[in-house]
Amino acid sequence: MSNEICNCMGITREEIINACKAGNLKTVEEVGEATGAGTGCGGCIDDIQQILDEIQ
Ligand code: FES
């Protein structure tokens, strides 16, 4: 299993978690603004949402 969540932008799970904690991000849109994740094909959006759910 790859640690990379967003293949379009090359964003890893760890980067998303760190950005969420640093910026108190609550939505997929906010993660996209902060990291670029989810702003390409959109195929990783469910995975980003799952990470958000896990850390809340
Ligand atoms: S894999 Fe994240 S936008 Fe395409």
> What type of residue sits at position 33?
E
Q: How far is the centre of ligand 1, averaged over its atoms, from the C-alpha of 17 (Å)?
A: 16
Q: Domain ranges in the chain?
A: 4-55
| Prediction pTM value | 0.92
Q: Is the distance from the beta carbon of residue 38 to the nearest atom of ligand 1 less than 6 Å?
A: yes
Query: How many angstroms separate the CA atoms of 40 and 10, rounded?
Result: 11
For ligand 1, mutation pick of 44, 46, 49 (most atoms within 8 Å of CB)? 44
- pLDDT at position 51: 97
Q: pLDDT digits over 1-56, tens only?
A: 469 999 999 999 999 999 999 999 999 999 999 999 999 999 999 999 999 999 98
Best CATH choice for the domain 4-55 from the list 1.10.10.1100, 1.25.40.420, 1.20.1250.20, 3.20.20.20: 1.10.10.1100
Residue 15, H or E segment:
helix 13-23
- pLDDT at position 37: 98
Other beta carbons less than 10 A from residue 10's beta carbon? 12
